[in-house]
Structure 1
């Protein structure tokens, strides 16, 4: 069996990301691995929904960024408190495109495994909307486990 030292778990607060954490915990306990929770705020996609709002002062952008950081850190804290005390837990909040940001964190942390939830969009919606899990599986240099 492969020995894992650092497992990366992207989280977004969804049911599938909670399931991914559960699987990562089982693997981490068996391997004595650390778990690094990652929340990526995709501010570009959120701000693009505000095209119709005048933003000469940048207030809207700044407020959205602050709200996203607050939400992301709350999700990370909520997930971290459910991980047993005998597992080392790290939390990382990033801003950017989710796929590349997850892989960047994995590389910086010498990840042995990425365990992430699938959004369950199905092949048609995934084709049109893009899929973070597909991106990570395609571009990762370490094993990736997708949890449904």
Structure 2
């Protein structure tokens, strides 16, 4: 039924639950998991850090890439003792668009498994803006994890 499942991770507690659930579904349906983390190219410089030339934006991008690598390595570790097929990628792009349309089309995805909200504490109260966008624009089923 679900042969290819997209599992976007952001390193939040919700995304850890997301990966556990993806593992269960993947084993049940013999699915291939497409584990990804997305780096938004419009990285903002943290408040209070005055940019000096391009130093602050470059450092912010390097930090984002290191964080993305850590998220993927953590996912590999979490799935390492299971007989689950998984592809791991770090993608650069607009997060909501990559999850809702670009990655599903590129990888022939059957299901998107996404957390209700990500790291933003304000979004913890309601469905996050990325999740809402994905629900509204995806052309494949979306399973939202609480």
Deviations 1:18-76 (A, max 9, x none): 111111111111111111111112342523x45862342x2222221111111101111
Per the normalisation by structure 2, the TM-score is 0.85
Runs of 4+ deviating beyond 6 Å: none
Task: Tell me how far apart the structure 2 counterparts of residues 53 and 102 of structure 1 sit (CA, whole Å).
Answer: 32
> Which residue does the alignment assign to 1:70?
66
Unpaired runs of 5+ in structure 1? none
Matches within 5 A, 1:34-113: 34-47=32-45, 49=46, 53-56=50-53, 58-83=54-79, 84-103=81-100, 104-113=102-111
1:121 to 124, 127, 145: 124
SS at match of 2:2: coil
Unpaired runs of 5+ in structure 2? 118-122
Q: How well do the aligned residues superpose, as a CA RMSD in angstroms?
A: 1.9
C-alpha deviation, 1:96, in angstroms? 2.5
Per the normalisation by structure 1, the TM-score is 0.84
